[in-house]
Chain A
């Protein structure tokens, strides 16, 4: 029999024993649905977790420090391993040139220093002491500003600030009203002495000193910032934390805030007064690029550190998690495939006569086997498609339910279930394969049926 006739007959046979076949198909659908729902939950949670972790910037970041560096910024952040044998002569300075060099490496999206300083913020005549943190441009894409009241920074160089909600509550009992207001940042600026400054210096001795070695001075400055938004979460989580006022990193850099280690840095830089970084954070496109970029930067002569091992463990956990969810789903599908076996075996008993007639009319064993096989496959296909739809619905319902629950707890909603195309396609193919396997025995039995006995059957 031709394939088209076979398919036609198979679907028509399925349509005829409508109730039983739809129940069987529903069994397959439920099996596939539970498989899809389980796996979509796994995939969704994994996506959610990696999104959240990406926000922390821990898993797609390489922390670079100079081998000369002695102290790692950010108290409780990760610490680089420093080889004590490194001599000052053969180590490179982590300066602007190196920063640009690293920025040009493949898969590197951003290179930035961490800028955090303790300062005073003036608002409504009162002064508050707080930590200011510079946020890199990439923060926009990592969901840092999810659930923000107001808006994210309008541009990477905007004179804007985003307040952490706790701090905002300190400023005003109604934090939301702060958006659009202005605050004043009082800070100490590290001022690099230019030749003009030197020339203006009246004390000739001092002038001579400075001309020989360059220099820095500390000046008190003020900067007005507009409040762009207020966020609940701490975008610096995992990187030391503690920021309460966030400003664009570039703005923070331009402030040249005097840091406690400035003097040390000045000495290390050979008194040139050029900015030297203690540590740079290198963001890469995805966690899988971390290792390669890290290697390259190491070869450039810097110390590096990443949390790749932690990522690996995380992936392992999720793979095992997926495996278990998949196992439960497969279990459901196994039950469903037993349903197919049962339906087809019953169909053989019921359709013995039909098989006998088909054989009498000249159907070969192969024709009969193919017909039953096609029916099993068709049930798998229909069950697979409706199962994927059903599984997606279950996932969507779970997401909806979770979001409702989270909202009630004043937490932002999350998408915990996610059906990628490969899962949908894979589930349908899987359903067909399982159904065909289930049809193997009944189809073989039907094909072997003796036509005379089959025709005698009433």
Chain B
């Protein structure tokens, strides 16, 4: 996501293009359509909330966009590349280099210290050791956990764990951050802290954020676009003008930081 483009240009060409995407599961004889013919275009710098009740297919759709799962039919183009057409190794590379992920249950590896958890994506990307240290330290500093690098996840609070997970998602400087119910396991104070952090990241780094949530008030407060899924179908897609205004100023701010990927 080249952020040195003017904001207008960045909104011209979609970063993610989902066309008639379906995902079906076989459950014995029955075929369940978790995602049913969803088409969606997401532009760079958006903070998009995927809203829906449980079983609406929002998480499945997120997993498809994040390259964790493959669509049964339809195409997902990210920066012009069709995720359906690349092999599993390429898909892993996409997850490693283009995507950052945050989960509801944090998913920090319990055996490792916070620092080691954050270092994992860099290890996978074969980044030099010296470089890694600097980047891990910077990422932890960014989420305000500079003093807890040697702690294990079990020694951290939920909010700290989620911030740690966020640092891990950001350390590879991805273009898109996917967050699957990032506040689901947190109290309202910590949840808000995370969402503020997300918005700050979006505005300062110009990162595209796609967040799954079932809490409409949260989505309305932080996202600039709300897509509602129900029974695997897209039922509404609202672009919030006020937020767009704020978003644009954020885009301009991000120019100072240079390219993120």
Chain A residues close to B by CB (< 8 Å): 1-2, 5, 9, 12-13, 16, 353-354, 356-367, 450-452, 455
A365-B92, A366-B89 known; A359 vs B125 contact (CB < 8 Å): no
Q: Which residues of B contact A451 (CB under 8 A)?
A: 68-69
B168-196 toward A: CB 8 Å interface, digit per residue (1/0)? 10001000000000000000000000000
16 more A-B residue pairs beyond the given contacts A358-B120, A363-B124, with a C-beta to C-beta distance below 8 A:
A1-B124, A2-B123, A5-B126, A12-B112, A357-B109, A360-B95, A360-B103, A362-B92, A362-B96, A362-B99, A362-B125, A363-B96, A365-B89, A367-B92, A451-B68, A451-B69
Interface core residue of B95, B103, B124, B168 (most chain A CB under 10 Å):
B124
Task: Provide 8 A-B residue pairs closer than 8 Å at the C-beta atoms, listed in order of the A residue.
Answer: A16-B111, A358-B124, A359-B92, A360-B101, A361-B101, A361-B168, A363-B124, A364-B93
The winner among A1, A361, A366 for most chain B CB atoms within 10 A is A361
Chain A residues whose CB sits within 8 angstroms of the CB of B123 once the complex forms? 1-2, 5, 9
Q: Which residues of B contact A2 (CB under 8 A)?
A: 123, 126
Interface size on B, residues (CB 8 A): 27
> Scoring B residues 106 to 137 as 1 if CB is less than 8 Å from chain A, else 0, what string do you get?
01010110000000110111100000000000
Residue B97 is within 8 A (CB to CB) of chain A in the complex: yes
**B73: interface (CB < 8 Å):** no
Residues from chain A with Cβ under 8 Å of B124 in the complex: 1, 358, 361-363, 367
Instruction: Give the distance to chain A from B92, nearest Cβ to Cβ, in Å.
Output: 4
* Chain B neighbourhood of A455, CB < 8 A: 68, 103, 107
Residues of A within 8 A of B101 (CB): 360-361
Choose from B63, B93, B103, B107 the contact partner of A362 (Cβ within 8 Å).
B93
CB distance from B163 to the nearest CB of A (A): 17
Provide the bound-state CA to CA distance between A5 and B103, in Å.
25
**Secondary structure type dominating chain A contacts:** helix
Q: Which residues of A contact B96 (CB under 8 A)?
A: 361-363
Which B residues touch A9, using CB under 8 A? 123
Among all A-B residue pairs, the 9 with the closest Cβ atoms: A362-B96, A364-B92, A16-B111, A362-B95, A5-B123, A357-B107, A451-B68, A361-B121, A452-B69
Instruction: A353 to B125: give the CA distance in the assembly, Å.
Output: 20
Q: In the complex, are the beta carbons of B107 and A353 less than 8 A apart?
A: yes
Q: What is the bound-complex CA distance between A246 and B130, given in angstroms?
A: 77
Q: Check B88 for interface membership: any CB of A closer than 8 A.
A: yes
Q: For residue A356, which residues in chain B have a CB less than 8 angstroms away from its CB?
A: 107
Nearest B residue to A361 via CB reads B121
From known contacts A353-B107, A455-B103, A455-B107, infer whether A361 and B95 are also in contact, taking CB-CB under 8 Å.
Answer: yes
Tell which of A5, A354, A450 has the most Cβ of chain B within 10 Å: A5
B107 to chain A: which residues have CB within 8 Å?
353, 356-357, 360, 455
Note all chain A residues with C-beta closer than 8 A to B92: 359, 362-365, 367
Q: Give the residues in chain A near B125, CB-CB below 8 Å.
A: 362
- Report the bound CA distance from A12 to B101 in whole Å: 24
- Residues of chain A contacted by B109 (CB below 8 angstroms): 354, 357
Query: With the chains together, A450 CA to B69 CA distance in Å?
Result: 8
Q: Distance (Å) between the CB of A255 and the closest chain B CB?
A: 81
Cβ of B40 to closest chain A Cβ, rounded Å: 19
Q: How far does the Cβ of A367 sit from chain B's closest Cβ, in whole Å?
A: 6
CB nearest to B90 among chain A residues: A364
Question: Does B95 contact A359, Cβ atoms closer than 8 Å?
Answer: yes
| Chain B residues within 8 Å of A366, by CB | 89
